[in-house]
Amino acid sequence: MNEHKSKGYAGKTALLVEDDPDCMEQVKTHLENAGFSVATAETQLEAERLIEDKAFDLAVFDLMLENKDSGFILSYKAKKRNSATPVILITCVASEAGLHFDSFEEDPMGWVKADAILDKQIRFEQLDREIDRLLLVPA
């Protein structure tokens, strides 16, 4: 078994929302290897129920679920539940839909509540870096 370097995420919870079963399995495995206890949902509706129930230490949402903007809606609701919860959106359509997000750029309307947006051709090292940054783990 590949030993995943622990970042002290044991005891932390993550909410993963993804309707692609393979992507779900891959990201869930990676988060669990990092120590997170992972709750999952396949639809926006399921995720909204989980968000209502409890706040999570980390949220990872697919952008397009049963709605094309499900990820944005879930980001908003997760932040409303707990503004400190870091939210990462993963999507295949960022550039095609004209979505050019810089996670450090303040969007003028304040609509996008995600803290990071990653392409779905996800490299787990990049996901790890974002998680570390958002959970303020020292390098």
Partner 1 sequence: MTLKILLCGEAPCGAWDAERISQALRTAVPELDLLDVETSFERVQGAGEARKASGASHFDLALVSLPQEGRDQLPSLKLCAPFVVAAIKDASFFKSAAAAGASEIVCAGEGFETRLDAVLQSYSRRLAIAKLSSDIGLRRELPFIAMLSHELKSPLATVEGYLRMMEARESGDAISNYDRMIKRSLLRLNAMHKLIGDIIDLARAESSGTSREMTRHELRAVCKEAVEPLLDAAGSRGISIDCQAPDGLSFNSAQGDLRAIISNLLSNAVKYNRSGGSVHLSLSQNAGILKIKVADTGIGMAPEELGRLSCEFARIRNSDTREIPGSGLGLSIVRRIASLYGGSLSIESKRGEGSSFIVELREAPSGQNKEL
Report the helix count and the strand count for the chain, using DSSP H and E: 4, 5
Q: From 6-14, 47-55, 62-70, 128-136, give the range in contact with partner 1 by CB under 8 A.
A: 62-70
Q: Which of 49, 80, 82, 97 binds partner 1 (CB under 8 A)?
A: 97
Buried b (16+ CB within 10 A) or exposed e, 63-87: bbbeeeebbbbbbebbbebeeebbb
Kindly identify the residues of this chain, within the stretch 9-28, that bind partner 1 according to CB under 8 A.
Answer: 19-23, 26
Asked if residues 58 and 17 have their Cβ atoms less than 8 Å apart, the reply is no
| 7 interacts with partner 1 by CB under 8 A | no
| 33 interacts with partner 1 by CB under 8 A | yes
Residues lying near partner 1 in the complex (CB under 8 A): 1-2, 19-23, 26, 29, 33, 42-43, 64, 66-68, 73, 91-93, 96-98, 120-124
